[in-house]
Amino acid sequence: MITGQATVPVPQAEPPPIPRCAICRAAATTRERARQIGSPLSVRAASDTIREHPHRRVQ
């Protein structure tokens, strides 16, 4: 039996930007640029922005 083993959280799938949301569009652009330069922390921050900011309901 192995004890004291840390669990590793499963990464969440990247959230898609909401259509017609300027904040999502900007964060998605930032995320793609961060991915291109190899900055995983910036990729995560941009994904968090898309996931966590309030969205207006599209009607």
Q: Is residue 47 part of a domain?
A: yes
Q: How far apart are CA 56 and CA 19, in angstroms?
A: 11
Is 0.85 surpassed by the pTM of this model? no
Q: Is residue 45 part of a domain?
A: yes
Phi and psi of 34, rounded to 5°? -65, -40
Range of the domain at 45: 23-52
**pLDDT, position 5:** 63
**pLDDT, position 49:** 95
Q: How many domains does the chain have?
A: 1
Here the tokens at position 8 are 């590793």
Q: How far apart are CA 40 and CA 51, in angstroms?
A: 16
Q: Is residue 13 part of a domain?
A: no
What is the per-residue pLDDT across 9-56, written as a single tens digit (0 to 9) for each?
Answer: 556 789 999 988 999 999 999 999 999 999 999 999 999 999 999 876
